[in-house]
Chains A and B, each alone.
Chain A
Amino acid sequence: DIQMTQSPSSVSASVGDRVTITCRASQGVTNWLAWYQQMPGKAPKLLIYAASGLQSGVPSRFSGSGSGTDFTLTISSLQPEDSATYFCQQANTFPYTFGQGTKLEI
């Protein structure tokens, strides 16, 4: 199975800050990687597909980059509503696997 490792596990930042979360795959997944946002008690929400594609309706302050084994999610100007846990997920090979999550506190 492909292992996905996120860092950091948690991060605290202020409104207006720029935050970057990284995700590393144990083997190459081309650019078949997604980022999800999960609010407490809610289902995950797709933010980024194919490493850098912005899902419809997602604010443009969210962006993704990377290919192969190393990926990043960047939030350019934090808003209070961005407080959540973020997960990466590889969609290259079954079994699909997720990172362990990054908890973002504003």
Chain B
Amino acid sequence: SQKIEQNSEALNIQEGKTATLTCNYTNYSPAYLQWYRQDPGRGPVFLLLIRENEKEKRKERLKVTFDTTLKQSLFHITASQPADSATYLCAQNSGNTPLVFGKGTRLSVIA
């Protein structure tokens, strides 16, 4: 079965540092990997989508990579701020299939 895993349940970093979150997938090759931010009691907010033929995507302080050899996506937040503290979800789909989510990584940026 398709599995998408975010191995770190929680990550604490100092303000100003770069946060790096990891997402791994097994048993399949997703066409798209997507990253979302979720705050407590709220729905997920779309951040970035990266296609399997793209190595890297950037949006302001965010960067996502997609390594099909390692079956892994990395999500980076540079110059992190306390306001970046949230749960970040990795999700995958292929074509018209619905998103399947990882369990998420709870990021805490400490001032």
Chain B binds chain A: no
